[in-house]
Chains A and B, each alone.
Chain A
């Protein structure tokens, strides 16, 4: 899977690349609009991460160029601006998603995975981990042949961990992911423990070997060889 990171802050671009490369993505960096336009003309990418404020112009022009060339690359805008107008403008120009800085790399990774699923597999790829089958299209979870009945939060949590497998996902990132827009009012992560406990219990009952590990007080990691 090839990812193009159009971001003028090299420190941020490198962080994203380092995180994604560990998930077997191939990443290329474009620090400005000119490089970005050259690259999208020459290559196809599975997903493009696009910063809107670039030193030599507006990132939305890259989106327009993609559209003009009838490219089907998935695009996620990563921007410091998060007004509704900015979002609508970006999405209207054909971006798949809009992520506001600062974000957790695990969140970015989950969004990239979702975009690629939608674009490349029309949502029809089942995620698999040690006999655990998660179908994002149907939103169902099975262990082998046994269906597991999960609440919405538990499902979201499982999908998040699955897309970030073998990585430590911080509890802050999980809290933000689970609570969505309502996030920001509580710093209390206790509710994650409750969801996690229930999820693990249900998966164990369905016969799955527990691969979700708590990493000290920091976060969780799904270890799948």
Chain B
């Protein structure tokens, strides 16, 4: 629930309760006032009437004094004056003694008119209060929206913020203290993470570069070691293993630097790249490896896709996918390549189990025992896809491992 609605909800609840309590109270109070008023008038009438009655001569029984006043002779019981409501009337009953006779005087006053008045007033009051309440709610709503606007703006900026953005996070200034404090805190947090990210990136880059010189020394000495004479078969075997390890180190280094470079956006030049042509060129290049494993290649070129991308990166992306399909294949296995409707599918036979979805595109999460693979290939694939907004997915449909890339033109 929105904070806005939450606060408004409380306001609303309070207002309704107040209204429900206030209206009956108001009614009762109003009625009391009216009755007191009527009573006062009745008493006043009585006070005016009594002197007149005392001097009045009574002929023909009880005199008729008016519609609202009755006088009748009663037994000698001197009850006290009483005021009560009967039907829509207010009655004042009083006993008085005239000429040694006890009379009961009754004065009545209609309160029906007053009741109507009270009802009208209450209705008006309810309407007025409801309008006031609705108005308050509306004002509160629009005001809150206005007041919370900087907050929503901050939220929106945070949502689109990435730690690898080249520019620091800039939030709109707010005149509300709370929001400007929040913005400052968020900006500082974002800046700290950005600095940490940059530092880490630079470290990875520097470490990779610094590693190259000792690697070069190592490889150079190995090359010299190979030239030594005499060289036994045992020594040659050791040197070969060392050379292979050194090659792998060099390759790993290259992969890491490539990753850093993709993250740094150091491939700004783009051009129109034909996916079909690139794949065909790569297949030509991998011909020896294909033949070596006696793989059957099935190609299905329905519709070529031309993407606007860096040609080198496209080559790396497609090369990694194809090389994986070859490397992790079984001898005499199959590779199926299909390009249609902006989707490139590379399928290959291989190990009988699916690769783990959650780890497949992460670096160094090798899931094969093949020493060739260094665990960077698919991470590079994903990074390049991220860069160009492609979508890469993996699925295992026995016996085929399937990689799909949905490309945006």
Closest-CB distance, B147 to chain A (whole angstroms): 50
The listed residue (A102, A179, A188) touching B372 by CB distance below 8 A is A188
Judge if A19 is at the interface, Cβ distance under 8 Å.
Answer: yes
Contact status A182-B286, CB under 8 Å: yes
Closest-CB distance, B226 to chain A (whole angstroms): 4
Q: Hey, which chain B residues are within 8 Å of A81, CB to CB?
A: 209
CA distance A22 to B226 in the complex (A): 13
Judge if B276 is at the interface, Cβ distance under 8 Å.
Answer: no
Contact status B288-A191, CB under 8 Å: yes
Stretch at the interface among A63-71, A127-135, A137-145, A211-219: A211-219
Contact status B289-A188, CB under 8 Å: yes
Contact with B along A176-210 (1 / 0, CB 8 A): 10010110111110110011000000000000000
Q: Which A residue's beta carbon lies closest to that of B239? A: A218
CA distance A112 to B139 in the complex (A): 82
Judge if A26 is at the interface, Cβ distance under 8 Å.
Answer: no
Judge if B236 is at the interface, Cβ distance under 8 Å.
Answer: yes
The listed residue (A19, A22, A101, A104) touching B213 by CB distance below 8 A is A101
Q: Hey, which chain A residues are within 8 Å of B266, CB to CB?
A: 83, 85
Q: Which B residue's beta carbon lies closest to that of A14? A: B220
Judge if B198 is at the interface, Cβ distance under 8 Å.
Answer: no
Interface of B: prevailing SS: helix
Contact with A along B212-237 (1 / 0, CB 8 A): 11011111111110110001010011
Judge if A167 is at the interface, Cβ distance under 8 Å.
Answer: yes
Knowing A182-B286, A185-B319, the reply to whether A19 touches B224 (Cβ < 8 A) is: yes
Contact status A218-B213, CB under 8 Å: no
Judge if A12 is at the interface, Cβ distance under 8 Å.
Answer: yes
CA distance A22 to B215 in the complex (A): 22
Interface of A: prevailing SS: mixed
Closest-CB distance, B110 to chain A (whole angstroms): 103
CA distance A184 to B257 in the complex (A): 13
Judge if B409 is at the interface, Cβ distance under 8 Å.
Answer: no
Knowing A80-B209, A172-B243, the reply to whether A15 touches B251 (Cβ < 8 A) is: no
Judge if B240 is at the interface, Cβ distance under 8 Å.
Answer: yes
Contact status B219-A104, CB under 8 Å: yes
Judge if A4 is at the interface, Cβ distance under 8 Å.
Answer: no
Interface, chain A (partner B; CB < 8 A): 9, 11-12, 15-16, 18-19, 22, 78, 80-85, 100-106, 167-168, 170-173, 176, 179, 181-182, 184-188, 190-191, 194-195, 215-219
Interface, chain B (partner A; CB < 8 A): 209-210, 212-213, 215-224, 226-227, 231, 233, 236-237, 239-240, 243-244, 246-248, 250-251, 254-255, 257, 261, 266, 282, 285-286, 288-289, 291-292, 312, 315, 319-320, 323, 326-327, 371-372, 377
Q: A-B pairs with the 8 shortest C-beta distances?
A: A191-B288, A15-B220, A216-B236, A185-B323, A101-B216, A102-B216, A102-B215, A80-B212
- Extra pairs beyond A15-B223, A172-B244, A184-B254 (18, CB < 8 Å): A9-B217, A11-B220, A78-B216, A81-B209, A83-B261, A85-B266, A101-B212, A101-B213, A101-B216, A105-B224, A171-B240, A181-B315, A182-B319, A184-B255, A185-B320, A217-B236, A218-B226, A218-B239
